[in-house]
């Protein structure tokens, strides 16, 4: 009996994919909406495989002004890291179709190996 007939999971496999990384500031806006939120919303609407946003504890950008959580009062202007994972062509097309969102942020695209679980 195969794994799908017994209800057991079959082995997964690695598949080539890509990771799009966007470095931005939590205060970056797109038409009064947080920029990171607009990127994630459009990624979901496009059907990209996944998106996550992390808040940084310290960083600087083009201004060379360091933003940090080490200051006693509530920190703001902190860096964000947004990651999208999908096929390279789909990520390139997403950035090109939404170029207005990426005009003032740092964007990189690197190949990755993504684990894909087997069927259940």
87-107 pLDDT per residue, tens: 999 999 999 999 999 999 999
Q: Where are the domains of the chain?
A: 16-112
pTM beyond 0.75: yes
Helix axes 88-97, 35-46, angle to 10 degrees: 130
Output the CATH code of domain 16-112. Answer: 3.30.70.120
Write down the pLDDT at residue 35.
98
Confidence of residue 67 (pLDDT cuts 50, 70, 90): low
What is the predicted pLDDT for the residue at 57?
Answer: 82
74 band by pLDDT with thresholds 50, 70 and 90: low
Task: Write phi, then psi, for 73 (nearest 5 degrees).
Answer: -80, 175
């Amino acid at each position: 009996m195969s794994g799908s007939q017994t209800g057991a999971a079959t082995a997964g496999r690695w598949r080539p994919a890509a990771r799009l990384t966007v470095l931005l500031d939590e205060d970056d806006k797109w038409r009064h909406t947080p920029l990171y939120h607009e990127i994630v919303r459009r990624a979901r609407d496009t059907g990209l495989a996944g998106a996550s946003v992390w808040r940084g504890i310290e960083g600087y950008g083009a201004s060379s002004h360091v933003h940090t959580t080490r200051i006693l009062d509530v920190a703001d202007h902190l860096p964000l890291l947004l990651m999208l994972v999908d096929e390279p062509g789909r990520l390139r097309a997403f950035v090109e179709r939404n170029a207005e969102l990426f005009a003032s942020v740092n964007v990189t695209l690197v190949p990755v190996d993504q684990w894909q679980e087997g069927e259940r």
